[in-house]
Amino acid sequence: MPTPTLTTSAYVLHNLGLAAGFGGSLFGRVALNPSAKLISDKQDRAKIVNAAWNGYNVINAIGLGSTALTWFFGRSKISGRSISPAARKLVIVKDFLMGATLVSGLVNLIGGGFLAKRALGDGIPMESGSKAADEAPADVKSTTKLVNWLGVFNLACMAGIIGVSTWLDNTAQTSSKWKLIANVLP
């Protein structure tokens, strides 16, 4: 049986995009942001952290965009009903998680852009990569809190997508219906 080249390529793009989004965000949250405290000047902390996050935003957007496009395209062809009732439920959960990831990611992209513009322009004081200094303006403090909260939410959603995808893959692999469908995929 020949390997479905288009389907396999889409699956690879889907997983690479998710890996880039999850891995980069996790690194930023647990390594980059806390390490910013090593920079003595609070203004420089903000500049460096925001420049780093802004630099990664392009990779993150491309990665999660390719994950979403491949998921929604494939999903438009196969809803999970043809596999099993359990697979259908997993597809719906993944739809929700994908939507939540995209919305929270977009809001974070906008909030992060605002913070980067302020940090690289006017300058803003930061205690760490994820905490505005007490003397920072109120809009910077509230945006930083929003970006941090949504960042954790976004990571949780991406972790959920990884888990549901694995579960869905395993469900599909044990389905004789799926094996018949897979034979005709491009």
Say whether 147 sits in a helix, a strand or coil.
helix
Exposure string of 110-145, with b = 16+ CB inside 10 Å and e = fewer, is ebbebbbebbeeeebbbbbbbbbbeebeeebbebbe
57-93 pLDDT, tens digit per residue, is 889 999 999 999 988 887 776 666 566 777 788 889 9
pLDDT computed for residue 151 by the predictor: 93
114-169 pLDDT, tens digit per residue, is 999 988 888 899 998 889 999 999 999 999 999 999 999 999 999 999 999 888 87
Question: What is the DSSP pairing of strand 126-128 with strand 131-132?
Answer: antiparallel
pLDDT computed for residue 177 by the predictor: 53
Say whether 128 sits in a helix, a strand or coil.
strand
Retrieve residue 36's tokens.
């910013």
The model carries a pTM of 0.85
pLDDT at 4 over 90: no
